[in-house]
Chains A and B, each alone.
Chain A
Amino acid sequence: MTLLEIQNLRVHFPVRGLRIGAIPSTVKAVDGVSFTVAAGEAVGLVGESGCGKTTLGRAVVRLVEPTGGRIIFEGRDLTALGPGALRPLRRRFQMVFQDPFHSLDPRMTAGQSIAEALVAHRLAATASARRARVEDLLRDVGLDPEAADRFPHQFSGGQRQRIGIARALAVEPGLIVCDEPVSALDVSVQAQVVNLLQDLQRRRGLAYLFISHDLAVVEHLCQRLLVMYLGRVVESGPAREVCRSPSHPYTRALLSAVPSLRPSTGGERIRLEGDVPSPADPPPGCPFHPRCPVAEARCRTESPELRRTADRREVACHQVASSPQAP
């Protein structure tokens, strides 16, 4: 069952020129993205900094206003709803942020932070019902119920991220947008939080939009994967297959840059030159062509459409679209 359907979503930011007389321009942070998330499905969203993945995640939960397109969640178009009509729906989609040090109010106890969500959505009538619910939630995320009375500074990074997850779970969402939820954590703690997210997905049938730059975590946790470059999706498909046999030259380069624990077995490295171009001034044609190792003349003028290839994937590349095996 489709839980979330994103149709041609665009988020554009106006940019004032720094110098007097400079022409105002637009940053197309998200530029025509479409995808679906089924109930209980984890969809990974990967790409380099500046590719628009965080903006996309924030637009999905309406933390930034989309410029165009539709966000259909549980059958209702969120972009057509005003703040008042949106409010009761908000509890069905929640967000977990990257930095567990800055996403909790330092002056509220963990219990108060979690209970705040219950109060806002009128989900527990009495103080004792709230307290019981907070303790259940803390147990669900692997913390001691006594943690409710402690303040954020008394927790480690991993514990704080568990509190952030408990707060998102408090309102019984169907979808959680996770923005780099394990990137700020220590290696041994990352695995604990990844396992927790996986358990919660299975136990509660949660869906995730999991934003990360770590392809290995995405492959482990997600069923499907979207690769973004300069505001657009360049490849999408089953996470396992995309990670093991990437089609788009950008996906290949991303995967080849991930350092492997196994001593290199002579596999060739694709080194991307340069940085992601400025989204305020994207290159013409295929946005990836200036860094693409296999770009040809057509790529410099003609922007490739996202096309379905033979293997349940969509790829935006002239060369891949013409033949699923090449280049």
Chain B
Amino acid sequence: MPLLDIQDLRIDFGTTRVVDGVSLAIDEGQTLGLVGESGCGKSVTALSIGRLLATPPARHAGGRILLGGQEVLTLSSDGLRSIRGRVVSYIFQEPGASLNPVRRIGAQVLESLRLHAPSRATEAEVVRRLAGVGIPAPDQRARDYPHQLSGGMQQRVMIALALASEPRLLVADEPTTALDATVQAQIMDLLLDVQRRTGMAILLITHNLGLVADVARRVAVMYAGQIVEEAPARHLLSQPVHPYTRALIRSVPEIGVDRERLPALPGQVPVPGRWPAGCRFAPRCPSALASCATSPPGLEPVAPGHRVRCPVRPPAIP
């Protein structure tokens, strides 16, 4: 049984659908990359796993979220407390905005330990935890305020906080987007190292396809509230089938690849509430058929473990 099993999840904001029938599963110890552009519903999907969306305006309109076998969407507030932290923890894009600016980082880690592992909530354990996420001179840094740390160090503190409860699933929502590439590499190494040691599963939400190629075993691509393609990472990047995935991969410049112009997708991502009828990608799609404008395609298997929401089968990429 997968650790996280999202089935046909639908979420509305007011009367506007923002997540429309998303199904995802992650096993223990696995990393799933969830890729998409702004407004595709990837962050809302992620926040719904720990029921972190404010309701209202968000409203659960259908589907199930099974986390460690428990249905999250119907849990009582006591039940929610028992899964937040212990089963699922989060880290976000801007670590500076997630830390308390007026408390020393040691005190913040200690608070997290008190909540989740009271018997181990000691100063020594705080220093050990900070050292464990690669913070140099952790006994001194514990006395720093968040603003005294660089973005990369702040994100390490966030990871120490998220890991204090020893979660089985870490949801990392654009964890390195605000960081330099050199620091991004350090942070991803750290997360993968924790995963190897503890068997923690990671849901990595990002718009960076290269990052996903590097760290995820499986990748799901979202567009306009739906998953349009899901496959093993290597397969998705070398043999993408959905025209959106193909266009995304082609439009990213790559070092060492000469191109006169970048093959850019025309138009822009449709905002929720203005999704086209039929296939939502059809208005921007280079290989759209006449029927695409009217009949919405289903997510169909094209190979073992590879599902695509598009009836067109492009020739394989050599």
Cβ contacts under 8 Å, A254 to chain B? 181-182
Scan A202-227; emit 1 where CB is below 8 A from any B CB, else 0.
Answer: 00000000000101110110000000
Would you list which residues of chain A between 159 and 186 have a CB under 8 Å from chain B? 159, 186
Identify the closest chain B residue to A220 (Cβ). Answer: B253
Cβ contacts under 8 Å, B185 to chain A? 257, 259, 269, 271-272
Contact of B38 among A186, A258, A260 (CB under 8 A): A186
Would you list which residues of chain B between 242 and 259 have a CB under 8 Å from chain A? 247-249, 251-256, 258-259
Contact of B247 among A188, A215, A273, A274 (CB under 8 A): A188
Q: Are the CB atoms of B254 and A260 closer together than 8 Å?
A: yes
Q: Are the CB atoms of A191 and B262 closer together than 8 Å?
A: yes
Q: Are the CB atoms of B248 and A271 closer together than 8 Å?
A: no
Q: Is B9 an interface residue (CB 8 A)?
A: no
Q: How far is it, in angstroms, between the C-alpha of A239 and the C-alpha of B163 when the chains are bound?
A: 41
Identify the closest chain A residue to B262 (Cβ). Answer: A191
Cβ contacts under 8 Å, A25 to chain B? none
Cβ contacts under 8 Å, A36 to chain B? none
Interface size class of B (residues with CB under 8 A): 35 or more
Q: Is A192 an interface residue (CB 8 A)?
A: yes
Question: Beyond A49-B151, A213-B180, A253-B182, is A187–B255 a contact (Cβ under 8 Å)?
Answer: no
Cβ contacts under 8 Å, A275 to chain B? 150, 152-153, 183
Cβ contacts under 8 Å, B197 to chain A? none
Q: How far is it, in angstroms, between the C-alpha of A189 and the C-alpha of B269 when the chains are bound?
A: 9
State the Cβ distance, A16 to closest chain B Cβ, in Å: 16
Cβ contacts under 8 Å, B186 to chain A? 271-273
Q: Are the CB atoms of A217 and B261 closer together than 8 Å?
A: no
Q: Is B213 an interface residue (CB 8 A)?
A: yes
Q: How far is it, in angstroms, between the C-alpha of A274 and the C-alpha of B183 when the chains are bound?
A: 8
Q: Are the CB atoms of A188 and B213 closer together than 8 Å?
A: no
Q: How far is it, in angstroms, between the C-alpha of A243 and the C-alpha of B210 when the chains are bound?
A: 17
Cβ contacts under 8 Å, B211 to chain A? 259
Q: Are the CB atoms of A189 and B210 closer together than 8 Å?
A: no
Q: Are the CB atoms of B180 and A49 closer together than 8 Å?
A: yes
Q: How far is it, in angstroms, between the C-alpha of A195 and the C-alpha of B265 when the chains are bound?
A: 11
Q: How far is it, in angstroms, between the C-alpha of A244 and the C-alpha of B258 when the chains are bound?
A: 11
Would you list which residues of chain B between 193 and 245 have a CB under 8 Å from chain A? 207-211, 213-214, 234, 237-238
Cβ contacts under 8 Å, B71 to chain A? none
A-B contact pairs, 27 of them (CB 8 A): A48-B182, A49-B151, A186-B269, A187-B209, A187-B248, A188-B264, A191-B253, A191-B262, A191-B265, A192-B265, A216-B255, A217-B253, A253-B182, A259-B213, A259-B214, A260-B210, A260-B213, A260-B214, A260-B254, A261-B209, A261-B210, A261-B213, A263-B237, A263-B238, A272-B185, A275-B152, A276-B150
| Contacts from B to A (Cβ < 8 Å) | 37-38, 136, 150-153, 180-186, 189, 207-211, 213-214, 234, 237-238, 247-249, 251-256, 258-259, 261-266, 268-269
| Contacts from A to B (Cβ < 8 Å) | 48-49, 156-159, 186-192, 194-195, 198, 213, 215-217, 219-220, 240, 243-244, 253-255, 257-264, 269, 271-276
Closest 6 CB pairs of A and B: A259-B210, A191-B264, A191-B251, A186-B37, A191-B262, A220-B253
